[in-house]
Amino acid sequence: MLPPIAEIVDNFAFLEEWEDRHQYLMELGRKLPPLPEEARTEANKVRGCVSQVWLDTSVDRRDGAPRLHFRGDSDAHITKGVVAVLIAFFDGRTAEDAAKADALGLFQRLGLSEHLTAQRSNGARAMMERIRQDAARVSEAA
């Protein structure tokens, strides 16, 4: 099970060396629940990632404003860690909040912006954009 995003931020702040942060990122990826094979569809595939990345979005409409929930996976260890960080950051937010949330700012605070390769950074931005699109679609339907 993934820790809350506040705990992830605290743990990144505690780890001073990039190698330790890199290991922690991969550890977060290992904590993702397995993505069922039926969720590995073309519709769930994130375009713009060099690695294979799937994000499955579901909506909980109970208790007022629709809340988004995410499951995800990647075939690359570091990218899977990036997926885990994004899920921890966005999961359970209202669609409106998710559409406005500053995931790029989070990546800067964690030091990921400066330490991920250009390809992985582009992939992370593609994942963030996909989540924003899903959130906007849910907000429009609400």
Residue 120 pLDDT: 86
- Distance, in Å, from the CA atom of 49 to the CA atom of 86, rounded to the nearest integer, reads 14
Bridge partners of residue 56, in order along the sequence: 71
> pLDDT class for 142, splitting at 50, 70, 90?
low
pLDDT at 141: 75
pLDDT of residue 121: 87
Residue 72 has pLDDT above 90, yes or no: yes
Mean pLDDT in residue range 15-26:
94
Report the number of distinct structural domains present in the chain: 1
pLDDT for 116 beyond 90: no
Q: Is the pLDDT of residue 105 over 80?
A: yes
Catalytic residue chosen out of the listed positions 25, 28, 35, 49: 49
Q: Is the separation of the CB atoms in 123 and 51 below 8 Å?
A: yes
Alpha-carbon distance of 28 to 9, in angstroms, equals: 12
Look over the chain and give the mean of its residue pLDDT values, rounded to a whole number: 92
**Is pLDDT of 87 > 90?**
yes
pLDDT, tens digit, 9 for 90 and up, residues 26-63: 999 999 999 999 999 999 999 988 899 999 999 998 87
What would the mean pLDDT of 106-114 be, rounded to a whole number? 89
CATH for 16? 3.90.1010.10
Q: Which residues are CB-neighbours of 42 under 8 A, at least 6 positions away?
A: none
Q: Residue 108 is part of which domain span?
A: 5-141
Q: What pLDDT does residue 132 have?
A: 93
Active site residue 49: yes
